[in-house]
Amino acid sequence: MSTQPPSQPGSRLWLWVLMAAAVLTQTSLNLARPVVSYKLLALGGDAAVIGVVTAVYAVLPVVAALWLGRVSDRIASLKGMVALGAVMLAVAAVGLALAQDFLLIGISMALLGMGHLVFTIAGQSAIGRYAPLNQMDSGFGWFTAAFSLGQLLGPLLAGVLLGTGTEGVGPDWLGAINLALLLAAGIALAGAPVMLIGAHPGAARRRFRRKNDDGAGAAAVRPPMVKEPVLQILRRPGVAWNMLASLALLSVIDILVAFLPLVGEELGVAPFWVGVLLAVRACASIISRILLPWLVHRWSRIQLLVASLLGSGAAIAVTPFVLEPFWLAAVALFVGGFLLGLGQPLTMTLISHAVRPESRGAALALRLLGNRVGQVVLPLASGLVAAPLGPGGAIWFSCAVLGAAAAARLTVRSEPGNGGRPSER
Interatomic CA distance for residues 398 and 416, integer angstroms? 28
Interatomic CA distance for residues 392 and 367, integer angstroms? 28
Residue 3: pLDDT above 60?
no
Interatomic CA distance for residues 113 and 56, integer angstroms? 8
> Which of 12-21, 54-63, 230-239, 254-263 ranks highest by mean pLDDT?
254-263
Tell me the average pLDDT across 334-362: 84
Residue 9: pLDDT above 50?
no
CA 15 to chain centre: 17
- Residue 181 confidence (pLDDT): 94
Tell me the average pLDDT across 33-41: 88
| Domain boundary assignment for the chain | 9-411
Residue 49: pLDDT above 80?
yes
What percent of the chain lies above the pLDDT cut of 90?
21
Interatomic CA distance for residues 84 and 80, integer angstroms? 6
- Residue 362 confidence (pLDDT): 75
- Residue 209 confidence (pLDDT): 38
Spatial CA neighbour of 212 closest among 392, 5, 40, 360: 5
Give the Cα-Cα-Cα angle 294, 145, 143 (nearest 5 degrees). 95
Q: What is the 3-state secondary structure (H, E, C) of 140-169?
A: HHHHHHHHHHHHHHHHHHHHHHHCCCCCCC
Instruction: Categorize the per-residue pLDDT at 87 as very low, low, confident or very high, splitting at 50, 70 and 90.
Output: very high
Of the chain, the end-to-end C-alpha distance in Å amounts to 33
- Residue 400 confidence (pLDDT): 93
Distances (CA, A) of 347 to 140, 239, 363, 364: 10, 9, 11, 9
Tell me the average pLDDT across 266-273: 84
> Mind listing the pLDDT tens digit for each residue in 302-316?
889 999 999 999 999
Please name the residues in contact with 79: beta carbons below 8 A apart, sequence gap of 6 or more.
195, 196, 200
Tell me the average pLDDT across 309-336: 90
Interatomic CA distance for residues 394 and 381, integer angstroms? 8
Cα-Cα-Cα-Cα dihedral of 186, 189, 190, 192, to 10°? 180
Q: What is the mean pLDDT of the chain?
A: 79
Interatomic CA distance for residues 37 and 46, integer angstroms? 9
DSSP, residue by residue, 335-379: HHHHHHHHHHHHHHHHHHHHS-GGGHHHHHHHHHHHHHHHHHHHH
Q: How many CB atoms lie within 10 A of CB 9?
A: 7
- Among left, alpha and beta (phi > 0; psi -120 to 50; other), residue 195 is alpha
Interatomic CA distance for residues 108 and 370, integer angstroms? 22
Residue 273: pLDDT above 90?
no
Residue 93: pLDDT above 90?
yes
- Residue 205 confidence (pLDDT): 46
Interatomic CA distance for residues 106 and 54, integer angstroms? 8
Interatomic CA distance for residues 124 and 139, integer angstroms? 9
Tell me the average pLDDT across 258-273: 85
What percent of the chain lies above the pLDDT cut of 70?
81
Helix 102-130 × helix 13-42 angle, to 10°: 160
Query: Which secondary structure element, helix H or strand E, spans residue 185, and what is its range?
Result: helix 171-194
Tell me the average pLDDT across 411-418: 56
Residue 264: pLDDT above 80?
yes
Residue 129: pLDDT above 80?
no
Interatomic CA distance for residues 277 and 323, integer angstroms? 9
- Residue 425 confidence (pLDDT): 30
Tell me the average pLDDT across 372-398: 82
Pick the residue with more confidence: 281 or 222? 281
Instruction: Categorize the per-residue pLDDT at 97 as very low, low, confident or very high, splitting at 50, 70 and 90.
Output: very high
Q: How many CB atoms lie within 10 A of CB 409?
A: 19
Please name the residues in contact with 343: beta carbons below 8 A apart, sequence gap of 6 or more.
245, 246, 249, 305, 308, 309, 312
Minimum mean pLDDT range among 52-66, 90-104, 190-204: 190-204
Please report, as a single letter, which amino acid is at residue 335. Answer: V
- Residue 350 confidence (pLDDT): 86
CA 424 to chain centre: 27
Tell me the average pLDDT across 125-133: 74
User: What pTM did the predictor assign?
Assistant: 0.71
Q: Which residues of 161-186 are buried (b: 16+ CB within 10 A; e: fewer)?
A: bbeeeeeeeeeebbebbbebbbbbbe
Cβ contact 34:257 at 8 Å: yes
Interatomic CA distance for residues 54 and 253, integer angstroms? 12
Residue 423: pLDDT above 50?
no
Tell me the average pLDDT across 380-409: 86
Please name the residues in contact with 334: beta carbons below 8 A apart, sequence gap of 6 or more.
280, 281, 283, 284
Please report, as a single letter, which amino acid is at residue 241. Answer: W
> Which of 71-80, 95-104, 187-196, 289-298 ranks highest by mean pLDDT?
95-104
> Mind listing the pLDDT tens digit for each residue in 186-237?
999 998 887 666 545 544 444 333 333 333 333 333 444 456 677 777 777 7
Classify domain 9-411 at the CATH topology level: Growth Hormone; Chain: A; (1.20.1250)
Residue 4: pLDDT above 70?
no
Spatial CA neighbour of 194 closest among 10, 13, 11: 13
